[in-house]
Structure 1
Amino acid sequence: MLAKRIIACLDIKAGRVVKGTGFLGLRDAGNPIELAQSYNKQSADELVFLDIAASLENRGTTIELATKLARELFIPFTIGGGISSLDHIADLVTAGADKISVNSSALKNPDLITEGAKHFGSQCMVIAIDAKKTGNHWEVFSHGG
């Protein structure tokens, strides 16, 4: 039997963790560093931080958040949101991220995933897909929706 793993995913907007349904009705859920510390103490296996507004706002995930998380956590973490270049991936990995999650850029520039895997290893690259059922089929969305 495969081992069960607890991987918490925290959506970030304007530097805060937010909770909603389908990215609607977002409400503040707390400070990402404090919540990361709490999950760490509760023995989560891994954490994922996704800046859900980064692509919409045409900016990347902050290096500052990755640096702070790396200082506080003793479990692997994935970070994503607005990742659009190999340099940005390198900056986040250098700051301490274990994995990089790419969403919109994976559709626009699939070579970014290949290049990221070549430079940092395939274990480092995660593709996040936003999909929604429309009628009888599923549709992929990017840039927040």
Structure 2
Amino acid sequence: MADQPAMPETRVDHVGIAVESIADAEGLLFALGCEKIHEEVGEYGEFTWATYALGDASRLELIAPREGSKSFLTDFLERNGPGPHHVTLEVADLEATVDALEARGISVVDRAEFDDWDEAFVAPGNPTGTLFQLMEYHNGYAEKREAGHRLFVGGESL
């Protein structure tokens, strides 16, 4: 293992939960003490996602399909119903993280670059059965959203 690249700083950013309706599901999060800090439509208009803070270091995300859309999310809900969808790990350096994982034989798929973040995924076919989203925030991500730096665990990105 000494010849493998080091894993960059990484932390759990949030757990994403697939639901049919954010409005119908968020009542439970409020009852648990969560505060809704953000909601927006996804980059391709297929879903809406909302972020909920539980204290300073815990984030949950509800993700619901937009009416009339057909996407990975509608497929997921048809197969599984509402429930845990993904765990997002914030990484300090996405490229170095991907290199470190692939050096360990872990396949990383569906890489995408956006104005405010880059992402890639470890598919759920891994031994944990969990879809991991790897996310590197760029400068400007928080500034373009009303919740600002509250979107980051501890108030700052890695």
Higher fraction of strand: 2
Highest Rg: 1 or 2? Answer: 2
TM-score under structure 2 length normalisation: 0.25
TM-score under structure 1 length normalisation: 0.27
Question: Whose RCO is larger (CA < 8 A, sep 6+)?
Answer: 2
Higher fraction of helix: 1
